Amino acid sequence: MHDFATVFGRPPAVSADAPGRVNLIGEHTDYNGGFVLPTAIPQRTRIELAPRADDVVRAASTAKDGGAPQTFTLGAEAPGRGWLDYVQGVTRLLSTGGHALRGFDARIDSTVPLGSGLSSSASLSVALMRALRSAFGLTLDDVQIARLGQRAENEFVGAQVGIMDPMAASLADEGTALFLDARSLEFERVPLPKGADLVVLNSGVAHDHAAGDYNTRRAECERACALLGVKLLRELGPADLPRVEALPEPLRRRARHVITENERVLQAVRAMRSGDLRRLGELFYESHASMRDDYEVSVPEIDCIVELARAGGDVYGARLTGGGFGGSVVMLAHAGRGRTAAERVARDYAARSGRTPRVLVPA
């Protein structure tokens, strides 16, 4: 694939990157003001960028359009251009937010697989804003970058994602889990347990958050809040579940998932701190069952991977990670057995499903 100088006829002035993420537990809780527990993965999005003297933006992605640059003008961003909308959304929000931009050339290269449930879009937005911050001297801290990344997806791309993905891309690292309160944005880095290997397996079934299902789930939660008289489902705890049981379907199950998932995140953090890997694994399986049955965001291929992981005796727990409708499974394997467990599950899954899985972690 052509390098920056070949595409744009000059060298880049700055470069920046941001990681993808895997969410250990706490799914569909962030936009409900709840708790999440993501960690960074080795796969990253890298941006090379050079400012221009005009208001034209030329952006080239090594994964799209054969690497050919796509062009738009600052102040004239218009949605409906696929992957370029993530770039346009960032420039629109930065400009309207009072940040002085000029045009630029940008080359995007990512090892975060698209549609894998590993936050490729947030990785792109955060890496781009880091590059723009460097190129134009923008006054942006890491939390502001995350907030703008979320708004770009919500307001421009049309995906009603929560704050977890951009916060993870902006603040997480590979050695710790980012225990995040999505309501207050308070966060703490919790060391990953040393007695287990992290495994991430891409199912080969892609998803798209801008499509209807993800946004539908968010709207269902908002309707449940209206009926329960609360602003966010985060305001409710296990003691409120009898009230939730009176809701009409599917709102009853949607709200039940969010409330029980928030509790699972808190229990998972306690299990990590105490080194209780068996309990942590149980929480993974409980979370997956709730996502499959109450939130209905799993698919048969993902369920197959989880059951294969459970059958081997070398995995503490496994669950769907990310928004769902495809994507990836995160597992906690016994220490020193992560690679063999990943290869075992991938082999059996490929034979059973006819899909081509990909082991992403261990890299």
Quickly list H helices, 137-211: 142-151, 164-171
Please report which helix (H) or strand (E) contains residue 316, including its range: strand 315-321
Q: Can you tell me the distance from the alpha carbon of 52 to that of 136, in angstroms, rounded to the nearest whole number?
A: 11
Q: Can you tell me the distance from the alpha carbon of 299 to that of 253, in angstroms, rounded to the nearest whole number?
A: 17
Give the side-chain half-sphere CA count within 13 A for 358. Answer: 17
How far is residue 249 from each of residues 61, 91, 214, 295, measured CA to CA in Å?
43, 41, 17, 11
Kindly report the backbone phi and psi dihedral angles of residue 154, in degrees, each rounded to the nearest multiple of 5, phi listed first.
-65, -50
Q: Which residues are catalytic?
A: 165
Measured CA angle at 108 (ends 68, 363), to 5 deg: 125
Torsion sign (Cα): 92, 94, 99, 105: negative
